[in-house]
A and B are shown apart, each in its own frame.
Chain A
């Protein structure tokens, strides 16, 4: 076995893959949110539709988006490999456990939280990514140029109260996933320091509340605008 495959099959190597892909996806969340907040601009979706067209046509964004899908896949695959190993490491369970006395709930349930987020992601991709890329999309025209009216598709989806509720609840699960994942990624990468670790934990907690809250705000606002 070469040193590369040996490292990637070690628990530490696999953990680092989880941390690096996780941190990339955290970065992606920020970019994604920045774009999505344009949905709330009071211009009938013009800036959002122009942004969406730009994202779809920019070759750099295309490359990053392929990388993004690959990183999601790596994050999921290695979480399955690691979770399987971790379960096998304790074949006989304890009769009595008191896990809440020594660790946070989110830290112990990253697999369940991740699975819920993955289900959300599949519904999300089917509803928007797939529809916009391969479905029939109404067109909007600004200054004589034709754009896919992505805003109309989003607004239509967010007029359904169940869909909005699904989004808001999913963001709650994302918040818990991030509340552990953000700081945990730095620890896994060996970045633990008396000066920076408390700061990373605070920033991570703030991030895990703020970003999902803003994501959840968009469908809520658009739902009530439609009423």
Chain B
């Protein structure tokens, strides 16, 4: 298939940037979206032009490194990561607009690459367990029901790609932060630091300049891992019970 690509080109974080149009032909519908960009970059390199920079790593849909805001949706038209998006989702003659995640807290480094270290700092603020939880426990030794374990695992599926922020009209990071708070708040190992974790991670999320949630549900609809906004409600509960009962004045 033959396509027209409108791709955001930006030299560095100080550059203003603009959409640039490229024509690309003989694209197989079996290619992944990133492979299509690889083809484009090969052509650009052969012509001596600067290839389009974009983030990618595992290309298996589990690392959270790929991004791209494709035709008005994070990770494109399918509810999956960009690396798992295939060209069969498009048709011959399509014009595809590719933009970076847009958020104050995700500054563009070059072209389609954004700096997502604000997510790392939210994790560093409390998304960990610092008590010794020992080695691998025997089966059924940890007193936790299957349904709670499932909820924790559902939240832990978050790969931190930032599609929730990209999809949210407020560039809010509440789906991400709530998933990370939830996965630990639900498990016995997370109880020791439960309160301080909720307080610190929410404070860091605010300090990074992310917007506030208006419960539109766009994040949940676009999340490639199907993280539910019930996690946001849980984060609110965790935060307010921590504020009300912790001894951090």
With an 8 A cutoff between CB atoms, is A58 at the interface? no
Query: What chain B residues lie within 8 Å of A2 (beta carbons)?
Result: 249
B93 CB within 8 Å of chain A: no
Choose the segment among B24-32, B39-47, B58-66, B228-236 that binds chain A (4+ C-beta atoms closer than 8 Å). Answer: B228-236
Tell me, in angstroms, the Cα distance from A61 to B249 when the chains sit together.
Answer: 37
Q: B120 CB to closest chain A CB, in angstroms?
A: 18
Alpha-carbon distance between A7 and B216 when the two chains are bound, in angstroms: 23
The answer to whether the Cβ of A82 comes within 8 Å of any Cβ in the partner chain is yes
B19 in contact with A192 (CB, 8 Å): no
Q: Known contacts A10-B202, A98-B71, A104-B216: does B104 contact A86 (CB below 8 Å)? A: no
Query: Is the CB–CB distance between B215 and A12 below 8 Å?
Result: no
Question: Closest CB-CB distance, A39 to chain B, in whole Å?
Answer: 35
In the A-B complex, the 7 residue pairs with the smallest Cβ-Cβ separation, listed nearest first, are A192-B233, A89-B211, A190-B237, A86-B170, A98-B72, A102-B221, A11-B212
A194 to B, closest residue via Cβ: B230
Contacts of B229 in A (CB 8 A): 187, 192
How does the 8 Å CB contact mask read for A203-223 relative to B, with 1 for contact and 0 for none?
000000000000000000000
Contact A89 B234 (CB under 8 A): no
**Given A82-B212, A89-B210: A103 touches B236 (CB 8 Å cut-off):** no
Q: Which residues of B contact A162 (CB under 8 A)?
A: none
| B212 touching A107, Cβ below 8 Å | no
Which single residue of chain B is at the shortest CB-CB distance from A10? B206
Interface residues of B (CB under 8 A from A): 6, 8, 19, 69, 71-73, 97, 99, 102-105, 167, 169-172, 174, 202-203, 205-206, 209-218, 221-222, 229-230, 232-237, 239-240, 243, 248-249
Asked if B248 and A3 make an inter-chain contact with CB atoms under 8 angstroms apart, the answer reads: yes
Smallest beta-carbon distance A201→chain B, Å: 11
A contact set with B: CB distance below 8 Å:
2-3, 6-7, 10-16, 82, 85-86, 88-99, 101-104, 107-108, 110, 180, 183-184, 187-192, 197
**B216 near A95 (CB under 8 angstroms)?**
no
Task: Using A86-B172, A93-B102 as known contacts, say yes or no to A190 and B236 having CB atoms under 8 A apart.
Answer: yes
Q: Are A107 and B104 in contact (CB under 8 A)?
A: no
* A12 adjacent to B172 (CB under 8 Å): no
Residues of B contacting A97 in the complex (Cβ-Cβ under 8 angstroms)? 72
Q: Are B104 and A88 in contact (CB under 8 A)?
A: yes
Contact of A89 among B171, B221, B248 (CB under 8 A): B171
In the complex, what distance in Å separates the CA atom of A110 from the CA atom of B169?
Answer: 12
Q: Which of B174, B221, B235, B237 contacts A103 (CB 8 A)?
A: B221
Q: Nearest-CB distance from B113 to chain A (Å)? A: 15
Residue of A nearest to B217 (CB): A103
Contact yes or no, A11 B213, CB < 8 A: yes
* Cα–Cα, bound, A184→B237 (Å): 15
A13 vs B199: C-alpha distance when bound (angstroms) = 12
Q: Given A86-B214, A103-B221, 5 other A-B contacts at CB below 8 A?
A: A14-B212, A94-B102, A97-B72, A102-B167, A190-B236
Query: Are A15 and B233 in touch, CB under 8 angstroms?
Result: no
List of A residues within 8 angstroms of B237 by Cβ = 190
Which of B73, B215, B235 is the one whose CB lies under 8 Å from A101?
Answer: B73
Cross-chain contact of B211 among A90, A110, A189 (Cβ < 8 A): A90
Q: Once the chains are docked, how many angstroms separate the CA of A190 from the CA of B233?
A: 4
When the two chains form their complex, are residues B170 and A190 in contact, meaning their CB atoms are under 8 A apart?
no
Q: Give the distance in Å from the alpha carbon of A97 to the alpha carbon of B171 in the complex.
A: 13
Would you call B214 and A107 a contact (CB within 8 A)?
yes
Q: What's the nearest-Cβ distance from chain A to residue B219, in Å?
A: 8
Whether the Cβ atoms of A107 and B69 lie closer than 8 Å is: no
B122, chain A: closest CB distance, angstroms: 13
- CB pair A88 B209 closer than 8 Å: yes
Q: Which residues of A contact B210 (CB under 8 A)?
A: 11, 89
List 19 interface pairs A-B (beta carbons < 8 Å), by A numbering: A3-B249, A10-B203, A10-B206, A11-B172, A11-B206, A11-B210, A82-B212, A88-B211, A90-B170, A94-B69, A95-B97, A99-B218, A102-B216, A107-B215, A110-B214, A184-B214, A188-B213, A190-B235, A190-B237
